[in-house]
Structure formats: structure tokens, C-alpha cells
Amino acid sequence: MILVNGEYKTHIPVTDRGFQYGDGLFETIEVRRGQAVFLDQHINRLYQGCLKLHIPAPSLEVLRFEITALCNKFNTSPENTGDCILKIIITRGSGGRGYRQPDSIEPTRIISVHPWPHYPQDYAKQGISARICQTRVGLNPLLAGIKHLNRLEQVMARAEWHDPDIQEGFMLDINGHIIEGTMSNIFFVKDGTLHTPILCHSGIAGIIRGIIIELAHRNHLAISEHLFFTEVLLSADEIFITNSIIGIWPVKQLETHSYPIGSLTQQLQIWLDQFKKQQDDHAL
Amino acid sequence: MILVNGEYKTHIPVTDRGFQYGDGLFETIEVRRGQAVFLDQHINRLYQGCLKLHIPAPSLEVLRFEITALCNKFNTSPENTGDCILKIIITRGSGGRGYRQPDSIEPTRIISVHPWPHYPQDYAKQGISARICQTRVGLNPLLAGIKHLNRLEQVMARAEWHDPDIQEGFMLDINGHIIEGTMSNIFFVKDGTLHTPILCHSGIAGIIRGIIIELAHRNHLAISEHLFFTEVLLSADEIFITNSIIGIWPVKQLETHSYPIGSLTQQLQIWLDQFKKQQDDHAL
């Protein structure tokens, strides 16, 4: 189910700059019992991205109206529990000559809902297996952090393995620093301190990543954003990954190294659930 | 005029991975008197890109058939001289879960024709003005050279200036090396030797760039592909840029530095024209 600029459609013009150049942004959002989770944070990141790419942002009213309409419509079918994935794409629309953007930008706004993926419950409790990818993430300070549509690196990295027992691949930048998973952010615990890659040169600043950092501060947990190499990660006490759909998944295996489901990881899962519930109560 | 998988259409599915992730490639080709110029070279680069991205390449027969059909159709209107721009886009099509590609890839093939841009003749004879862009090109050896659909960096660089007297912006990588123009490759001449950035970490390996290198070899001209900084470029004897639509444009001004229309630049323009004519004769 897809809304393109407010109308139910399945297609976009070939001329759309999102298609021609990846000239746009997106958000992937959890919808739980019909409610978009951490919607304020997602819209905030989307707006920051629009600002950076000089794409006029859609109004909050329009976004909220269309999101609600789509979630309601999706959840009217009896087989639905109200859980689904919401995706927002904003592009610079059509026009311009080559890379040059048009003088007057008419952005394309696409809001779509997708079935909830239903990952095995095990992943959150028993942990997942991860690998190190060969495909590197490029370095570009201008585009670092934002969730833009230039995602070939992630596509190529995810194509590196077919083993269904491996759920995520970790990507390094060209200097060998760990940056992110193909679809997630990475955290590790060492001697009681939480570590995560700093994303000033590459990577996507995930919403759950931001919330984990906030939760760490609130709970007086030592946290450090910095660049580190694979060896540092491999010697961690606990490793976990985050994104808006999976929440927090502990990593039980990275290449040939095994890790326990650590107490800090489990504590953060509890805090994240509580934080989600607070936001939910606040929204009601 | 657009052919999408062999049918005249104007739209593609929102689900196309070209739109969702920039998961594809493109070619921009000169059509002169109804004939696609350097078509073999363009198709060869497209095939190399497909190989690198693991996208099944369209057959040569289909490509040639559709290109001919489209060029003929475009040129039946009386106001047409047979000169136009041909664009080919190949994407991984729809499907897959997130970044993960589908087990069976059904690529999208888009062939379109566009009016010839008619740049002022002056540019090729009197030269153009260029600037240095703030937007950097990222470093990624895997994607370097190929003409993929992740082109936000070029879009952002081209958005840096509105002065119609500046025709091109030069982009540096994050280490400060000159890589390319937003829409062109860069050459300079110093003490009789031709220099151009080596594109093993970033940049697009342009068709005309490849031909210039071949022409230099054929004519026993010293040519060097390497990485260099802005100061080296600024101290050049001659500078020129190349792409498939503009051919060779001398650079008469780069920031505050002026350059003559050099004899080697003019010689290469003549050789390029001759080479184009030879290929054309060969094709007939």
C-alpha cells in the first residue's frame, strides 16, 4: 500500500531524481498496534536530511495525516494485528538538467506500509551470528549520518553471504575502522563501558542508536563514540546491534569469536522497552 | 520518449531497487545523425558495471534493437536533425528484502532519448570557466570507475553554484586529490605530458577519457594517470575536460587562474573528431 504525494499509486515517473541519482532520503519505522514508534525522532532525522540536501521538507501535518491514514487502512484487514513497517521516501522530484537541480523543487513524497517481518524471537534473546564484510563503506563527511538513497554499498555488502545462519554483516570504512552493520548500528561493551563507532565520516545515525546513547547518559553509563579496528571489537565483552525494526539484538558470534548475552545488553533491552512504552503513553 | 523493458512507458514501480537504493547503472550517449556514438565502448562499460554489481546484463541484440527503434522514432519528427542524447539505465529490478537482493534478479532496462543540449560552440573553441567544489567525492575502490546510480555527491557539488558563466566544478576526494568534474573527467598538460587523475578509489571512468588515453598512446604522447593536489592542477600549462556529450572543452579559467587554449588540447580535439569519424565509417 503506497501513497505517492497523497494518492494511492504504485509507480513514479522515470524522471524522478530519486531514481536517476538516488537524490533523496528515507526512513524505516516500526508500527506497533497501529502506532508509529519513535515517529518524532524519525521525522526529526528526515528533516535534518532534507536540510542537508536542500530538499524542501513535507509539512508535519501532511506527514502525520498520511501516516495515520495508511496505518489505519492497512490495519482494517482482519488478519492484521496492527504491526507493520512504515517507510517514508522523500526525493527532489523530477526536473533539472543532469545533476543540476531544478530552480523550483517539487519533492516527491512516498509513504508505504509493509508486512511486519516476524524475525525469530530467539534473535533478541539468544543472539545472532555476524560476519565481517569485504565491501567497505566510503568516507564522505557531507553525507555521513543521513539516511539518503545512495545505498549501493549496503546492497553489495549484503550480497556477500547467503548462509541463513548469519543475520548481519559488519562493514569497515576504507581505513579499516568498524562503521556499521549492513542494516544496523553496532555497539560493544568492554570493562563496563559502552562503545559505538562515531559517524562523522560515514554510516547512518540510526534512531535506536541515538536512543541507546540517550539512555546511557540518563543512567550514568560510560559511553564512548570513537573509531576502532576489528581487533578491538573482537576482544569485546558484549556486542549488540540496533535498528528501528529489530530493536536490540545481541551478537553471540562474530566470525570465529563467541560472546555471552551480556548483562548490559539485556539491561539496555529493558530500558529501550520502557522508553518505548513511555513514548507510547505520552502519544496517547 | 522512454522504453521500459521494451515498452513505451513513463513510469516505473516504486519498488524498483534503482529507486529504493540507487541499485543500478547508467550510460549517457551522444547520438549524431541518428547514430549512437562510441556505442561499443558504452555497452562495454555497462557490461563491466553489471558484472561488478552482479546484475544480469541485457543482451546486445535487445539493446541494439531498442536503441535503433528509439533513435528512429525520435528522428521521424521533421524538426529533428538526428542529434540527441540517449540514456540507458539498468537496475536490479524489484524484489528482495531490504538491501538483500532477490534470489532471482529481473533487471529493469530503461532506454530514453532526450533533446540535444546545444551548448554554445564557444565552449569547445574559446574554453570554459571552472571552479573548485566544496563537496568531496567519497573513496570506495569497489564502486570506483563504474557509472552507478549513487550520484548524490555530484548533485550536491553541482548545487554549489548558480553563476551561468561557470560551466563546471572540480571535485576533490576527502584527501584533497583532484578526481573529476561534476559531469566530466579532467586532464591537464604540463611540460608536454598529459596528466589525468587515476580512478582506482573514486570517480567515473568516462568513455571519452578512455579514448583520450588510447589516442595519447597511439600518438606516442606521454600520459600519466596519478593522484595530484589542486596546486599541481593550477600550475598546469593547459587544462581540459571531457565527456560523451561535450567531447573536449578547454578550461580557460579555474578559480582566479587563466589558461591558454593549448596546442595539445586542440590537437586532441582534432584526433577525437577523426577517431569518431573512423568509428562512424566503420559502423556504416
- Out of B12, B99, B154, whose CB is closest to A155? B99
C-alpha B88/C-alpha A14 separation (Å) is 12
Contacts of B156 in chain A (CB under 8 A): 53, 142-143
B58 or A279, which is more confident: B58
| Residue A283: per-residue pLDDT | 61
- Out of A18, A139, A141, whose CB is closest to B19? A18
Q: Rounded mean pLDDT of chain B?
A: 95
The C-alpha of B231 sits at a distance from chain A's nearest C-alpha, in angstroms, of: 22
Q: Rounded mean pLDDT of chain A?
A: 94
Give percent of chain A with pLDDT exceeding 90: 87
Would you name the residues of A annotated as active-site residues? 28, 147, 180
Mean pLDDT score, B44-51:
97
Digit-coded pLDDT (tens) for B150-198: 999 999 999 999 999 999 999 999 999 999 999 999 999 999 999 999 9
Contacts of B149 in chain A (CB under 8 A): 19-22, 152
Evaluate if residue A88 carries a pLDDT over 90: yes
| Residue B155: per-residue pLDDT | 97
Q: Which residue of chain B has the CA closest to A168?
A: B100
A 135-154 residues inside an 8 A Cβ radius of B: 135-143, 148-154
Q: A9 by DSSP, 3-state: which?
A: coil
- Out of A12, A140, A149, whose CB is closest to B138? A140
Digit-coded pLDDT (tens) for A8-46: 999 999 999 999 999 999 999 999 988 999 999 999 999
As to burial, measured by CB atoms within 10 angstroms (0-12 exposed, 13-18 middle, 19+ buried), residue A110 is buried
Digit-coded pLDDT (tens) for B250-281: 999 999 999 999 999 999 999 999 999 988 77
Confirm or reject contact between A193 and chain B (CB < 8 A).
no
pLDDT band at A82 (very low <50, low <70, confident <90, very high): confident
Evaluate if residue A141 carries a pLDDT over 60: yes
| Residue A76: per-residue pLDDT | 73
| Cross-chain residue pair A21–B154, CB shorter than 8 Å | yes
Query: For residue B6, what are the contacts with CB-CB under 8 A and spacing of at least 6?
Result: B62, B66, B109
**C-alpha cell read off for B202:** 573514486
B 39-78 residues inside an 8 A Cβ radius of A: 53-54
Q: Which residue of chain B has the CA closest to A183?
A: B99
Evaluate if residue B4 carries a pLDDT over 80: yes
Among B87, B202, B28, CA closest to A136: B202
Evaluate if residue A243 carries a pLDDT over 80: yes
C-alpha B170/C-alpha B176 separation (Å) is 11
Would you name the residues of B annotated as active-site residues? 28, 147, 180
Backbone φ and ψ for B79, nearest 5 degrees, come out as: -75, -5
Contacts of A13 in chain B (CB under 8 A): 10-11
- Out of B12, B101, B152, whose CB is closest to A159? B101
Q: In which residue are the cell numbers 598512446 written?
A: B217
C-alpha B84/C-alpha B35 separation (Å) is 9
Digit-coded pLDDT (tens) for B109-121: 999 999 999 889 8
The C-alpha of B25 sits at a distance from chain A's nearest C-alpha, in angstroms, of: 10
The H-or-E segment that residue A233 falls in is helix A230-234
A 71-130 residues inside an 8 A Cβ radius of B: 89, 92, 97-101, 110, 112, 117
Beta carbon pairs, A and B, within 8 Å: 165
Contact present, B207 and B153 (Cβ < 8 Å): no
Residue type, B191: D
Mean pLDDT score, B217-224:
96
Contact present, A249 and A128 (Cβ < 8 Å): yes
Contact present, A224 and A195 (Cβ < 8 Å): yes
Contact present, B168 and B184 (Cβ < 8 Å): yes
**C-alpha cell read off for B28:** 549517457
C-alpha B191/C-alpha B227 separation (Å) is 18
**Preferred mutation among A26, A151, A152, A244 to probe B, highest tally of B CBs within 10 A:** A152
Digit-coded pLDDT (tens) for A90-122: 999 998 779 999 999 999 999 999 999 989 989
Contacts of A174 in chain B (CB under 8 A): 139-141, 201
Digit-coded pLDDT (tens) for B92-140: 999 877 999 999 999 999 999 999 998 898 999 999 999 999 999 999 8
For chain A, domains (ranges, CATH) are 2-115 (3.30.470.10), 122-283 (3.20.10.10)
| Residue A152: per-residue pLDDT | 97
Contacts of A30 in chain B (CB under 8 A): none
Q: Is the ipTM of this complex over 0.85?
A: yes
**C-alpha cell read off for A101:** 537541480
| Cross-chain residue pair B14–A19, CB shorter than 8 Å | no
Among B266, B116, B279, B124, CA closest to B207: B279
- Out of B110, B149, B159, whose CB is closest to A22? B149
Backbone φ and ψ for B142, nearest 5 degrees, come out as: -60, -40
Mean pLDDT score, B208-227:
97
Mean pLDDT score, A143-163:
96
A 204-263 residues inside an 8 A Cβ radius of B: none
